[in-house]
Amino acid sequence: MLTTTRHSIQLADGDARYRLAAWQDVMSPSGEVRMTPEEAERFTTKAHWRQIGSVLVGHVSAGDFRLVRDRAMAERIGLDHVFINVFLAGRGGGVCGRRRMRFEPGAMSITKLSSPADYRLEGITLTALVVARRVLEAAIGPVAPFDGRVYPGSSIEARLVGAHIDALLALPDPVPRAQATVASRSTLALLAGCLRGEPVPDEAQAEPLDTDLELAKSIRRYIRDRLADPDLGPDLICRDFAVSRTRLYRLLRESGNVASTIRRLRLARAYGEIAAGRYAGASPAVIAIRSGFRQERSFRRAFIEEFAVSPTALQAQVGAGSLPPLPASGPVIAEWFSEL
């Protein structure tokens, strides 16, 4: 038995309606394609797929489009498959299951067909690896913990898997059955090494993923990385994670009011930076801006309310060689990030 190219498509001709219908037909197993009339007019795509043993690999280039897989569609999936995509160009983002995803060049995403999804792709080129879920789980255990996960392009996982997909695509065609078996087994072994990590007991592998906890951690990481952004607040978080304000507050209920917590985190970080001497000679206005406050006056007032000392007075203490203790509210940063 030999493997051959399973599917190739190139859509550059024909009117917009034809190209949209043809792309919808190609993508129908994954979800519903949606485009604006302007996107449909510009849309072109080129794709090449190969079946090698138990895995399917492909190289896809496509214009801008949105892919939607609602819950009803996801529940109709018969044989579930896992898609591992490595993005070479373009960008995009959205939601798969309960995870917010953002695609940048070099990033690797993992999604399963049985999860609701809604994401937008803009001028993408990617390589893809598709494996039946039962086949992949035999190699790595439950895939639920990886569903909707995006590995950055700098990660070893994205680099290794991306290079492996390239090698599979470069194999001569056709591939004899024995060699295809070696290729597919090697693929599963690589995925097991990259994704499974250290072997864990079967009962631990079977433990279901706490998706709310994972989403809460993602939001907390997002907040940590954007404390200096003055626009950071509940509205921005809800927009970027596609959650309602009610759900956001439920996810972060242990932290109390989200806006107040962000403010305390900013103040605690500013206090720690001043106490460490990193703002020696900096004006309060500079410290305020770098801490995510739009106005020096509001920063100074909030700082005094929180720590009973002004930023300038704290700078003076540090400059005089005094080592002010972190106030009681200071550990909020350590508590907030302790489980990220």
| Per-residue pLDDT at 197 | 52
| Per-residue pLDDT at 46 | 87
| Per-residue pLDDT at 10 | 67
pLDDT tens digits along 240-266: 888 888 888 888 876 678 888 889 889
For residue 209, pLDDT over 50 is answered with no
Q: What is the mean pLDDT of residues 63-78?
A: 87
Instruction: Tell me the two tokens of residue 312.
Output: 């300038």
- Give yes or no for a contact between 314 and 275, defined as CB atoms under 8 angstroms apart: yes
CB atoms within 10 A of CB 188: 18
| Per-residue pLDDT at 74 | 85
Instruction: Tell me the two tokens of residue 139.
Output: 């190699």
| Per-residue pLDDT at 340 | 41
- Mean pLDDT for all residues in the chain: 83
CA distances from 152 to 89, 98, 104, 115, 315 (A): 13, 19, 8, 22, 38
C-alpha to C-alpha distance for 243 and 237, rounded to whole angstroms: 8
DSSP class of residue 98 equals T
Q: What is the mean pLDDT of residues 215-221?
A: 79
For residue 146, pLDDT over 80 is answered with yes
Between residues 333 and 130, which one has the greater pLDDT?
130
Burial class (CB in 10 A: 0-12, 13-18, 19+), 315: buried
Put simply, whether the predicted model's pTM sits higher than 0.85 gets the answer: no
pLDDT tens digits along 303-340: 998 888 899 999 988 888 776 655 544 444 444 444 44
pLDDT bucket at 200, cuts 50 / 70 / 90: very low
Q: What is the mean pLDDT of residues 87-94?
A: 94
Helices (H) and strands (E) in the chain, counts: 15, 12
| Per-residue pLDDT at 330 | 45
- Give yes or no for a contact between 48 and 59, defined as CB atoms under 8 angstroms apart: yes
For residue 234, pLDDT over 60 is answered with yes
Residue carrying structure tokens 């994704």: 195
- Give yes or no for a contact between 147 and 117, defined as CB atoms under 8 angstroms apart: no
pLDDT bucket at 222, cuts 50 / 70 / 90: confident
Q: What is the mean pLDDT of residues 103-118?
A: 93
pLDDT tens digits along 9-53: 566 666 778 778 878 877 777 889 999 988 888 888 888 888 888
% of the chain exceeding 90 in pLDDT: 38
| Per-residue pLDDT at 224 | 83
C-alpha to C-alpha distance for 306 and 271, rounded to whole angstroms: 10
Q: What is the mean pLDDT of residues 190-214?
A: 58
| Per-residue pLDDT at 242 | 82
Sequence-distant (6+) residues with CB within 8 A of 253 are none
Sequence-distant (6+) residues with CB within 8 A of 89 are 61, 105, 123, 124, 125
